[in-house]
Chain A
Amino acid sequence: MGSVAVEVTNIVKSYAQTPVLRNVDLTIESGKFVSLLGPSGCGKTTMLRLIAGLEQPDTGDISVLGRRVNDVPVHQRNIGMVFQNHALFPHMSVFDNVAFGLKYRNLSKPEIIARVKRALEIVRLPHLEGRLPRQLSGGQQQRVAVARAIVIQPDLLLFDEPLSALDANLREEMRIELKRIQHSLGITTIFVTHDQSEAMSMSDIVILMREGVIDQYGRPDQLYNDPETDFAARFFGQVNEIDGIVAAISGDGAKIDTPLGTVSGVRGDFAIGDKVTLLLRSERSRVAGQPDLDASQLPCRVLERDYLGMLVRYTVLANDQQINVVQALEGELLSVGADAYLKIPTSAWLCYR
Chain B
Amino acid sequence: MMSNHIGKWALGIWTTLIFGFMLVPVFIIVILAFNESALGLFPFTGVTTHWFVVVLTDKDLMRSLMNSFRISLVASVFATILGSASAYALARYRFYGRAVTEMTLTLPLLIPHLVMGVSLLLLFKALGVDKSMTTLTLGHIVMILPFVVLTVRHRFESIPLALEEAAWTLGANRVQGIRQVVLPLAIPSILTGLLFSFMYSFDEVTATIFWRPVNVETVQTQIMAMLQYEVDQRVNALAALLILFSIGIPVLGLVLARLVIRNHKV
In the complex, A64 Cα to B260 Cα: how many Å?
A: 42
In the complex, A91 Cα to B159 Cα: how many Å?
A: 12
In the complex, A76 Cα to B171 Cα: how many Å?
A: 6
In the complex, the answer to whether A83 meets B266 with C-beta atoms within 8 Å is no
In the complex, A104 Cα to B172 Cα: how many Å?
A: 7
In the complex, the answer to whether B168 meets A54 with C-beta atoms within 8 Å is yes
Asked if A87 meets B185 with Cβ closer than 8 Å, knowing A73-B173, A75-B172, A152-B171, the reply is: no
B169 close to chain A: CB less than 8 A:
yes
Which listed residue (A53, A78, A87) contacts B166, Cβ 8 A? A87
Interface size on A, as a range, is: 20 to 34
In the complex, A286 Cα to B213 Cα: how many Å?
A: 94
Asked if A83 meets B171 with Cβ closer than 8 Å, knowing A90-B185, A91-B185, the reply is: no
In the complex, the answer to whether B184 meets A91 with C-beta atoms within 8 Å is yes
Provide the residues of chain B in CB contact with A91, threshold 8 Å: 184-185, 263-264
Interface size on B, as a range, is: 20 to 34
In the complex, A73 Cα to B175 Cα: how many Å?
A: 13
A100 close to chain B: CB less than 8 A:
yes
In the complex, the answer to whether A74 meets B264 with C-beta atoms within 8 Å is no
In the complex, the answer to whether B172 meets A90 with C-beta atoms within 8 Å is no
A54 to chain B, nearest CB (A): 6
Provide the residues of chain B in CB contact with A52, threshold 8 Å: 169
In the complex, A105 Cα to B266 Cα: how many Å?
A: 27
In the complex, the answer to whether A79 meets B169 with C-beta atoms within 8 Å is yes
A85 close to chain B: CB less than 8 A:
yes
Question: Given contacts A78-B171, A134-B265, could you give 5 more A-B pairs where the C-beta distance is less than 8 Å?
Answer: A75-B172, A75-B173, A80-B169, A81-B169, A85-B160
What residues make up the interface of B, taking CB atoms closer than 8 Å to A? Answer: 160, 162-163, 165-173, 176, 180-181, 184-185, 263-266
* 18 A-B pairs whose Cβ atoms sit less than 8 Å apart in the complex: A52-B169, A54-B168, A73-B173, A74-B165, A75-B173, A76-B171, A84-B162, A87-B163, A87-B166, A89-B166, A91-B185, A91-B263, A100-B170, A101-B170, A104-B176, A148-B170, A152-B170, A158-B169
